[in-house]
Chains A and B, each alone.
Chain A
């Protein structure tokens, strides 16, 4: 169940021509998640700073 499905790292990237679709989707998912986490963290910090200044 845990054996590497490819013969080499290059083959894992290429995936018989399907790698381009798989890795683009992977990049989009990770970028969206990261962008949302970073954006909310920044927004919260900004509000906290504003509230601290007004105190």
Chain B
């Protein structure tokens, strides 16, 4: 029954209809949460004792950094699913996630650099966290370019899946870089195991901005995958009925 359910949902046709059904709800709820949290964080939280008002970049930087790594992990899961079970929807998802992942990593790098100017006195430092994030950005761009360079989609999907799995080694390096090496970048303020080290008045809007941004990025992945399905399944009869 579970296998039947997975196979039914893994069908691009079912997926596309489900995306159309749930997309507006996820989009509008996330947009409301993100807007509310950003207004709260940027204008209504007290300024930080050490960093002053520049700390407000946290509401834009942290969600982007979190998503840049999470999206790569999602790509790695999709790659395993594609290589093990030959689910073609998983292959569509890998290439649908990559540009969105590149964008979030770009935002994380730019926001971090701009935050670094008033707090560290420099916009760039070759420390472990920043360098490994730059490598992640280059990996996203490399994967997109590689996929676009193939005319045979099946070959491209297979190669891309293997490369994504190999590249996943960078994710624990990014995550643990601040603990393993002495870095300019501070260690994590929020962890799953410990109490957050930031004040609740600053913490709640941060959680809101992460949830809201996460929802919006999910929406981007959904429309990006819809775009992939329309390209890859354009010869199928159901697509003609769909459009």
Q: Which residues of A contact B (CB under 8 A)?
A: 1-6, 12, 15-19, 21-22, 24-26, 28-29, 32-33, 36-37, 40-41, 43-44, 47-48, 51-52, 55
**Inter-subunit contact A21/B54 (CB<8 Å):** yes
Encoded as 1 (CB less than 8 Å from any A CB) or 0, chain B from 68 to 106 comes to 000000000000000000000000000000011001001
Contacts of B60 in A (CB 8 A): 25-26, 29
Grouping DSSP codes into helix (H, G, I), strand (E, B) and loop, the B interface class, with mixed when no group exceeds half, is helix
In the complex, the answer to whether B45 meets A5 with C-beta atoms within 8 Å is yes
Q: Which of B111-119, B132-140, B166-174, B181-189 contacts A (4 or more CB under 8 A)?
A: B111-119
Q: Do A47 and B234 form a contact, CB below 8 Å, given A21-B57, A21-B114, A41-B223? A: yes
Say yes or no: A51 contacts B234, CB within 8 Å: yes
15 contacts between A and B (CB under 8 A): A1-B201, A15-B52, A15-B56, A22-B56, A25-B60, A25-B61, A28-B107, A29-B107, A32-B107, A33-B220, A36-B103, A37-B219, A40-B224, A44-B223, A51-B240
With contact pairs A4-B43, A51-B234 given, residues A32 and B227 touching in the complex (Cβ less than 8 Å):
no
- The reply to whether the CB of B24 lies closer than 8 angstroms to some CB of chain A is no
Give the docked Cα–Cα distance between A3 and B204 (Å).
Answer: 15
In the complex, residue of chain B having the shortest beta-carbon distance to the beta carbon of A6:
B43
Cross-chain contact A51 with B243 (CB below 8 angstroms): yes
Interface flags, B45-67, vs A, CB<8A=1, else 0: 11100001110110011001000
Binary per-residue interface labels of chain B (232-243) against chain A in the complex, 1 for a CB within 8 Å, 0 otherwise: 001000011001
